[in-house]
């Protein structure tokens, strides 16, 4: 398979093409294509997650010598959560390059967002193995850390759940509450969908690899809805 257009899009040409192919192989693809010579991308995802966290942490530490740990942790979380990484996946047209089963390819819902986010981490892991830390960090700087200015401008790193609670209590005399709508995936890669409610009314839903991440995403989307009213 030819992934040269994807390489052009991400600005990195792999020396070892098998690493690129492996990073783009979703587990579901192997079920329908058992003769495919590469394993799925979950080990690369595991590695890429660690490289991503180090690169973002290092950059925040160097850029903001006076910001406290808690604020830098919030900034990092805003850049590396599922929704943020899935947006990166769309931007680099990862959706067109990923190898998935026909069923996964048809699913354009929250499951796809998680697959894209995981795929971005797998690509980072592959770049790290192929070209080293600096090449992986360059990809992260170009595609993920560029979100930082927007996050700061709109205070997207501030605890969305606390912000939402304060606003809804002040404006509607209600306390938002959260409920898990669904859990999908194996134990090591769970995907939670959580709804945020004002009273009995479902306002919006969020998704994430943990209940907390899904709740924060639901709160963030609820705040965006309130801005539109």
Whether residue 187 lies in the annotated active site: no
- State yes or no: is 121 an active-site residue: yes
> Which tokens sit at 137?
């960090």
| 135 close to 12: Cβ distance less than 8 angstroms | yes
Q: Output DSSP code: residue 156.
A: T
- Residues 6 or more apart whose Cβ sits within 8 Å of residue 126: 14, 19, 20, 22, 23, 44, 48
d(CA 56, CA 205): 27
Q: Which residue has the tokens 């790193």?
A: 157
Question: Token pair for residue 19?
Answer: 């690493």
Q: Of residues 45, 49, 118, 130, which has the active-site annotation?
A: 49
For residue 42, count other CB atoms closer than 10 A to its CB. 18
Evaluate whether 90 touches 108 at the Cβ level (below 8 Å).
no
State the catalytic residue, choosing from 42, 45, 113, 121. Answer: 121
Position of tokens 């390489």?
7
Enumerate the active-site residues.
49, 121
């Amino acid at each position: 398979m030819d992934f040269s257009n994807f390489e052009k899009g991400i600005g990195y040409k792999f020396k070892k093409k098998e690493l690129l192919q492996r990073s783009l192989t979703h587990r579901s693809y192997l079920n329908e294509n058992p003769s495919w010579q590469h394993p799925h991308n979950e080990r690369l995802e595991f590695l890429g997650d660690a490289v991503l966290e180090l690169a973002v942490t290092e950059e925040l530490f160097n850029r903001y010598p006076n910001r406290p740990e808690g604020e830098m942790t919030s900034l990092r979380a805003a850049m590396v959560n599922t929704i943020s990484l899935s947006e990166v996946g769309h931007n680099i047209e990862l959706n067109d390059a990923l190898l998935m089963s026909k069923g996964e390819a048809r699913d354009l819902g929250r499951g796809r967002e998680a697959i894209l986010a995981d795929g971005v981490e797998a690509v980072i892991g592959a770049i790290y193995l192929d070209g080293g830390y600096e090449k992986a960090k360059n990809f992260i700087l170009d595609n993920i850390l560029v979100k930082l200015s927007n996050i700061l401008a709109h205070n997207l790193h501030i605890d969305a759940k606390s912000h939402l609670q304060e606003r809804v209590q002040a404006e509607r005399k209600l306390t938002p509450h959260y409920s898990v709508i669904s859990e999908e995936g194996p134990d090591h890669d769970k995907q939670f969908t959580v709804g945020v409610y004002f009273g009995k009314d479902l306002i919006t839903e969020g998704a994430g690899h943990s209940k907390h991440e899904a709740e924060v995403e639901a709160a963030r989307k609820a705040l965006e809805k309130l801005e539109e009213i």
